[in-house]
Chains A and B, each alone.
Chain A
Amino acid sequence: MKDVSLGARLLVRMLRAGELTLLAFALTLAVASMATVGLFSDRTRIALEQEANRLLGADLVLTSSRPLDADLRKEAVARGLSAISTLAFRSMVIRAENTLLAEITAVEPGYPLRGTTRIATGRSEESEVPVAIPATGTLWADERLFGQLGLKVGEQVGLGNRRFTVAALLAQDPSLTLSVLGMGPRLVMSRDDVASTGLIAPGSRVVHRLLVAGARESVESYRQWAMQRLPAGVRLEGVRDARPEIRNALERAERFMSLAALTAVALATVAVMLAGRRFQHRQLDVCAMLRCLGASQWRVFRLQLVQLVGVGVIASLAGALLGYASQMLLGHWLASMVGIDLPQPGVAAALRASVLGLVLLLSFGLPPLLSLRQIPALRVLRRELGGPGTAGAMAYVLGAACVAALVLWHAGDIRLGGYVLAGSAGTLFAAGVLTWLCLRLLKSVSAGVGVSWRYGIASLRRRPLATVWQVVALALGLAAVLTLTLIRSDLLRAWQGNLPADAPNRFLINIQSDEVAPIESLLGSRLGTKPEFYPMVRARLVAINGTPVDPSQYGDDRARRLVEREFNVSWTETLPAHNRITAGVWLRAATAAEPALSVEEGIARTLGVKLGDRLTYDVAGERFVAPVTSLRKVEWDSFRVNFFVIGSPGLLAGYPATYITSFHLPPRSSDVVNDLIARFPTVVVIDVASLVFQVQAMIEQVSRAITFIFLFTVAAGVLVLYAGIVATHDERLREVAIMRTLGANRRQVLRAYATEFALIGALAGLFAAAAATGLGYFLSRNLLGLPYSSDPVVWLLGLGVGVFGVCGAGIFFTRRVLATPPLASLRQLA
């Protein structure tokens, strides 16, 4: 206790004297950048999730063909969540002598819980109706109903025993997502009106849904609760389960943000380590004096520990606060720029960053403290004694191991954390060895150059270990920044590349084979497009390698659903352009008559299907068996027609099939669709424009978030540079004082420094570019699943930023050294 109080007093004195400023600053910024990145990516993640949930109309949807247990709803309400029920069923809609089978959604007030319904009443343009639902006795019908029945707003239609007024055109409805590809024309009505239609009787096919939304944690805990109690036949899904393209986009964005956060952690580690080294060095005299004054070894350790923990706690808390404040600013800025309000983050990320900062400090600071206590008291008489010895080197190994464990924990993903660690360690090692070699090479160069150059090179060679450290740290920082830049532009390019301005926004399904040619010519003549038509049959997977598929054998919810239902199987001789074979060979024309299947790699993984497995499918009661001859990678976010399973033509051509296609409908061309519907009444048109629009908005949001996180990584990199230069401050002060005393002018010293920093920067920049290229290639390909193209700009950027950035910052950070009069320096360091 006595030592805690004395240690605390010493801490205050050290802080006041500025001895701990760099360490505290490094740690504060490290924690702040980790907290900002953590908090901000949390917010963005929640926002993305909510944005995605707008597509679903809720955060979670429970679906069943039987009425849902009332407890499910009660529990949701008890947890403070909003919950509403909807019914979906099919029925004939009658207008005069025309009838049409429509999909009807009966909703309660509050629908949709997420996102908006858009309607047009004919009197004005489309408008958003965020919470309203059709009034009793009225319906909202979609454009297909309007087109196929020749409806006008205000007219009456018959539905079961009752007549309803069509009050509006339904332009956009979140429940679209739930029923894509499985539906006809749609209308929305109030649930209160359902009973009066007499349409729902025992035995009717009705889909009961419970829509749930609310605070993220509550939704998650409700999901956990509900998963335990779901009766057979009830499906629970969030947007990730519902739409593969959304799941892909979300997961990729999340991985990228974790990557950025991890990079901040890695850079922060280097900054804290450099600051810690300086602190330890400056504590040598303090510890020797304490020993001389009679303090025992453990007492010296305890006093130092109190200071280290003290500065750690103060800096970590300050960092967490700073991080919280800066991410709030970012949020506001983002809101004012693009009108997106990010949800409030929890404090967990800030706390985690604090703990991480403290552990970071202790893992690098504690082992040196253990060696500090053994400083011989004799150092007070002989200063050369008791430098940080091998214990220091061991300490860094131990510290690095702790940090590695932390990075893995922070990553929450062994693969991602492993890549970052391996990349960092590889860069560290390679840059270290190469710098060492370069220093040896520079020796032979330095003979034929001017005095400032020679001094600059000599300065690097005189402190080989310090130089290696600086180059390595800077290379690591720059490599992280360059890697993130590369991947970021790749990521955005890949996404935007996938969604060109003319991305398909309409799907046509249920096309009969004799309708393919006339529809193709209609689209060609009216829109000038020539979309691909794919045949498809509805098939259900019944056995893998002769073993019947049992849904209950799959632990994964998604896999269970996939084998419970039919899905669309297509056939074609040529590999669709946006598909890539990842294993096996494509169903070539020569073997097209042979039975063969090509399976999307994601679903193959989920279902445990491997290349060469024989799959048995059931198509309308008939079965066929075929081997899997290839696995494909599919760009789900391209909004083209994609299939999980494609068969060889010879295998499937005999089954009754319908065709599907997608095309881009330019704005103000809806008359094309009306004509199409009029000529081909059984063809179903699906408007995916709104879906595309929402996904594009999400991508916009993610790209902005990524820009911010990237800026923080740059800030952490600058801090590393600063810590590296400050670490040699005393030494430089002494050298410059001696040089100036011996008559060197300011210019000469400046030129020598410029040479030194430019060389450090050039080496660091080149290593960083090399590392970034390698790491970028690896991460893009293996982690983010994006194509990678080498960019020569990265080398120019690495070298340029390295030389000019390090030189400029180095001169700036050493300006005090240059400005201090020689006598003052010498006295200060005496």
Chain B
Amino acid sequence: MRPIVEAVGLVKQVISDGRALNIVDDVSLSVFPGESVAIVGVSGSGKSTLLGLLAGLDTPTSGKVVLDGQELSTLTEDGRAAVRARVLGFVFQSFQLLPALTAIENVMLPLELAGAPDARRTANALLDRVGLGQRLTHYPKQLSGGEQQRVAIARAFATGPKLLLADEPTGNLDAATGARIVELMFELNRERGATLLLVTHDESISSRCQRTLRLAAGRLLSGELV
């Protein structure tokens, strides 16, 4: 089976105080369709940078990323954006909802960008699914943290992505709310047959994933092993 995302010898180097520093250091990994994979590590271990590289939001210093069969380094910035639109859904630690848009408009945005015919109906159904059917026209600032993350999850699944990338999805939430959000994410992931790749430092979340990859100082400790 072809991996949905594959990294080969991935390196991201930055210059800090005149010294070269590898934030991501020779990482190779493959994630297959239908899997749920957690990348864990302490703060500053390079988890979010790795996620950014896998999503094509950032370019590696060396190595390559193949996303849904497309090698990202061969694509332009706009080419990578097009792949993202087709393949990916995102959930962020800080939700990243647009403050000027209501809950339903935030969920509609990726659908509208893709030119989907029934953006409002689809968004409505998704918000219903995440339990916010009564809060469609609320602005983000009128919603609690947990509710905002639900909207973000609904937005992430709106275009039916093959791969859902989540960056510390419970980082800004209390334990109970976080647990419910994780539950919701896994449910939707199962329902829609998507692949889940999430970054966390919370062992209770990573334990629910089929595989866990450990990152320390930019290097993968337990590679493809489960």
Contact = CB atoms under 8 A, between A and B. Distances in A.
Interface of A: 2, 6, 9, 13-14, 17-19, 285-286, 289-299, 376-378, 380-382, 827-828, 830
Pairs of residues from A and B, 10 with the lowest C-beta to C-beta distance, nearest first: A294-B85, A17-B100, A296-B78, A19-B100, A378-B57, A294-B84, A377-B57, A293-B110, A294-B81, A378-B58
Contacts of B85: 293-295
Given A13-B100, A13-B101, A297-B77, A381 B82 contact: no
Given A13-B105, A17-B101, A296-B82, A381 B92 contact: yes
Given A297-B77, A378-B52, A381-B167, A292 B58 contact: no
Given A13-B101, A14-B100, A294-B84, A380 B90 contact: yes
A296 B78 CA distance: 5
A380 B100 contact: no
20 contacts: A9-B112, A13-B101, A17-B99, A17-B101, A17-B139, A291-B81, A292-B57, A292-B96, A293-B110, A294-B84, A294-B113, A295-B81, A296-B81, A297-B81, A380-B57, A380-B96, A381-B48, A382-B48, A382-B52, A830-B94
B211 interface: no
Nearest to B143: A827
Contacts of A294: 81-86, 88, 110, 113-114
A830 B144 CA distance: 12
Nearest to A291: B81
Nearest to B99: A17
A14 B112 CA distance: 16
B18 interface: no
Chain A interface, DSSP helix/strand/loop, else mixed: helix
B157 to A, nearest CB: 13
Contacts of A289: 96, 98, 109
Contact of A827 (B77, B96, B141): B141
Nearest to A9: B112
Interface in B33-72: 48, 51-52, 57-58
B113 A290 contact: yes
Given A6-B113, A828-B141, A376 B57 contact: yes
Interface in B96-138: 96, 98-102, 105, 109-110, 112-115
A377 B81 contact: yes
Given A13-B101, A292-B90, A294-B85, A381 B141 contact: no
A293 B84 contact: yes
A297 B113 contact: no
Interface centre among A2, A13, A294, A827 (most CB of B within 10 A): A294
Nearest to A17: B100
A716 B102 CA distance: 34
Nearest to B82: A294
A781 to B, nearest CB: 51
B98 A286 contact: yes
A13 B104 CA distance: 12
B57 A6 contact: no
Given A296-B82, A297-B81, 6 more contacts: A2-B115, A17-B100, A17-B101, A294-B114, A299-B113, A382-B48
Contacts of A6: 112-113
B113 A295 contact: yes
Contacts of B88: 294
Nearest to A298: B78
Nearest to A830: B94
B166 to A, nearest CB: 12
Contacts of A285: 96, 98
